[in-house]
Structure 1
Amino acid sequence: MRSLARRPLLLTALVAVAALVTAALAFGQDLVPIKITSVTKVTPNKAGTPKHPQGINIDVKTKIDTPRDYDPPLAQTVDVWISKGGNYNGGKYPTCSPQTMERRGIKACPPKSIMGHGTGVADADGVASIPDITVVNGGPTSVSFYTVLKNPARVQKAVTATIAKLHSGPWGYKVHASIPRSLQIVAGIPLRVESLHVNAGYKSYARDWIVTTMCPSGHKWKYHVEVHYETGQIAKFDGAVTCRS
């Protein structure tokens, strides 16, 4: 009698497990196999010290590989964790607000608020779209990426990234940005971003916008990237830049 009493519980548990597995498989089939690769170069890679910080230029080349037989998933947020060993000094230089850029264009910003430039390659259902990116200082806790698209429709939007200094754990800073809907869907077409290349820092008028203060014991400045998509999936990438003391 005891075994018969337990049988409904066992069957219920098996059905529940089967349902969970089926749901997991169904969800997995909807996920898009995205691969992100990134190459970052820091110049100079000889680190400064807390007493003598070294200004740097950062050059980032990123590729996003999404199979053509999948609809491009929409990226909603991007988070980047950066290892200790540097400082962001955006509070020392002129700023330009996203509202100014979007209403009046990048020429309305103070020239010395411009910290870099970038470009990329994107596809809108067969129509090539080349984003033009300007890196703009946003103050002590933010930076803006003013992005202009001309195809398949003109869009000009500032993507604002918040920069938070971390006081515990292995990372020194966390950078967070939300992707505006106008840069996800253009003229009703989901945008497939294939690559981005951004170069910023070490301008003649802003040598210490970003500085290094140490080279970790492993001789690498590490970073971790997570892109959150509308599908619920997260694409991750871990990278490192070799440094010298």
Structure 2
Amino acid sequence: MRKFLIPAVGLLVLVVVAVAVAQSPPTTVTSTTTVSPNKAGTKKKPQGVKLIYKATYTTPGDVEHPIITGGTVLVPKGGLYNGSKYPKCSAATLSHGGPSKCPPHSIMGRGTGDAHADTVITHPSITVINGGGKNIWFWTVLQNPARVQAIVPATIVKSTGQWAYKVTFKVPTSLQIVAGIPITLDSLNVTLGGKSYAKDWLATTSCPASKKWPYESTFDLSTGGSINYTGSVACK
């Protein structure tokens, strides 16, 4: 039985990367992120962007693996989050009524994936919802092995140095294990931003001299360890 979960909030990572968990056999993650347009805006005129994140998660063999319980993403200078500018939905409203009870213009993206719950295939459905200036909600629904719906919350705070923001996410227990079965995510495809009613919800204000937006990410493991990796996305 495979026991490894990468949460919906992975949709915030700007990356083309392959990483290995420090255990045997290794788990690898291969992913691509498209930022469009990738020509950066300026501080006076930010450029709104759409992110498309695709990833595949692979673990050879039939062994137990730690569950990812949360983590952090460091967003580089040149990135801008404008959640406070647009309609938001509270966690309480979302938890009690789902996305249909939220303001329509608070919906900022969608996604899907392929996952295993032992031998049962399940396809998580994700709705990305604006939670205001410091929060993004990833409303995630699983149909198998039982219907479960819950928020994967991401908290966004301004950072220092080369980083614009630090994003922290936490995976609820109800999405880590469903009907007593740990979930293994095999692939993920999520689109964020680029809405006509919220063109600069996600935006850029500059591109470094390196012509790359760097990032750093950490995934926390149920075993007490973590996975750390770095990457970048080309810009101009």
Q: TM-score, normalised by structure 1?
A: 0.84
The residue that corresponds to 1:44 in the other structure is 37
Distance 1:51 1:102, change over 3 A: same
Please point out which of 159, 163, 174 is paired with 2:152: 159
The residue that corresponds to 2:194 in the other structure is 202
Letter in structure 1 aligned against 2:56: K
Is 1:57 paired with 2:50?
A: yes
Letter in structure 2 aligned against 1:193: L
Is 1:108 paired with 2:131?
A: no
Superposed CA deviations along residues 131-156 of structure 1, whole A, max 9, x for unmatched, are: 00000000001100000000000001
Please point out which of 137, 140, 164 is paired with 2:133: 140
| Distance in 2 between residues matched to 1:139 and 1:151, nearest whole Å | 31
| Distance in 1 between residues matched to 2:78 and 2:213, nearest whole Å | 8
| Distance in 2 between residues matched to 1:92 and 1:193, nearest whole Å | 33
More helix by share: 1
Letter in structure 2 aligned against 1:87: L
List structure 1 segments (4+ residues) > 4 angstroms apart after TM superposition.
Answer: 28-32
Q: How many residues align?
A: 216
The residue that corresponds to 1:233 in the other structure is 225
Q: TM-score, normalised by structure 2?
A: 0.87
Comparing 127-136 with 32-41, greater Cα deviation is found at 32-41
Question: Once the 2 structures are TM-superposed, how far is the Cα of residue 222 of structure 1 from its aligned partner?
Answer: 1.3
Q: Which runs of 5+ in 2 are unaligned?
A: 1-20
The residue that corresponds to 1:90 in the other structure is 83
* 1:36–1:236 Cα contact (<8 Å) kept: no
Distance 1:139 1:32, change over 3 A: farther
Report which of the two structures shows the higher radius of gyration computed on alpha carbons. 1
Please state whether the residue corresponding to 2:161 is helix, strand or coil: coil
Please state whether the residue corresponding to 2:198 is helix, strand or coil: coil
Superposed CA deviations along residues 186-234 of structure 1, whole A, max 9, x for unmatched, are: 0100111122211011200000101100001100111222111111232
| Distance in 2 between residues matched to 1:160 and 1:232, nearest whole Å | 21
Question: Once the 2 structures are TM-superposed, how far is the Cα of residue 61 of structure 1 from its aligned partner?
Answer: 1.2
The residue that corresponds to 2:185 in the other structure is 193
Question: Once the 2 structures are TM-superposed, how far is the Cα of residue 31 of structure 1 from its aligned partner?
Answer: 6.4
Please point out which of 115, 120, 129 is paired with 1:122: 115
Distance 1:67 1:204, change over 3 A: same
Superposed CA deviations along residues 131-187 of structure 1, whole A, max 9, x for unmatched, are: 000000000011000000000000010111001111x22211111101100000001
Distance 1:215 1:100, change over 3 A: same
Question: Once the 2 structures are TM-superposed, how far is the Cα of residue 57 of structure 1 from its aligned partner?
Answer: 0.3
Aligned-residue sequence identity (percent) comes to 50
Superposed CA deviations along residues 8-66 of structure 1, whole A, max 9, x for unmatched, are: xxxxxxxxxxxxxxxxxxxx997662222321110000000111110000111122222
| Distance in 1 between residues matched to 2:27 and 2:218, nearest whole Å | 12
Q: Which runs of 5+ in 1 are unaligned?
A: 1-27
Letter in structure 2 aligned against 1:52: K
* 1:72–1:192 Cα contact (<8 Å) kept: no
Is 1:222 paired with 2:214?
A: yes
Superposed CA deviations along residues 59-113 of structure 1, whole A, max 9, x for unmatched, are: 1112222233212321111211111102100001111122222221211110000
